[in-house]
Amino acid sequence: MSLRPCVLVLCLLLAAARCWADEALPACPAGLTPELVLQRLNALRAEPRPCGSVERAAAPALRWDLRLAAAAEAYAGELAQRDTISHVGSQGRSLRERLGAAGYLMSSVGENLAAGPEQLDDALQIWLASAAHCQNLMAPELVDAGLACVAAPGRYQRFWVLLLARSPRSSPDRSP
């Protein structure tokens, strides 16, 4: 057999493998903008709802915070790299330490994590089904938000981090 047909077959196999690999890479949803995230979160918060056995009243609208979004992005990336989900960072860093590193001083905070959901609404449904995560979503004292999704090959493929917080500088009576 001449070298030319072997090279041709090898090129075809490599091209096929490349196409298959591109399709197998996970991705987070396109168009996951702060406006879309706030619209979904604020729609949930606008209605009273049960969170486990606790009935939660409607909560004020959230506002997007770039520092929280950056901290969420960094932590989602860390979780994706580790292919695990945990509220404690790889070097033992707490949520308070991670937010401080992002420049956000907080007086109260909630963190919701999800591994696997393909869409924002899927992650939100998981959080609503968990009493503790639902209570974070509905906590009226939490007024700032940042969310990120990071995709990576592995067991979970998508890692979602939602940070809800209040800074001592947050206005208590701000309009939605």
Does residue 164 contact residue 87 with C-beta atoms inside 8 Å?
no
pLDDT confidence bin for 169, thresholds 50/70/90: confident
10 pLDDT above the threshold of 80: no
Segment 130-137 shows an average pLDDT of: 98
142 pLDDT above the threshold of 60: yes
Angle between helices 131-138 and 120-129 (to 10 degrees): 110
Q: Which two tokens stand for residue 160?
A: 């979602």
19 pLDDT above the threshold of 80: no
pLDDT confidence bin for 151, thresholds 50/70/90: very high
Does residue 119 contact residue 91 with C-beta atoms inside 8 Å?
no
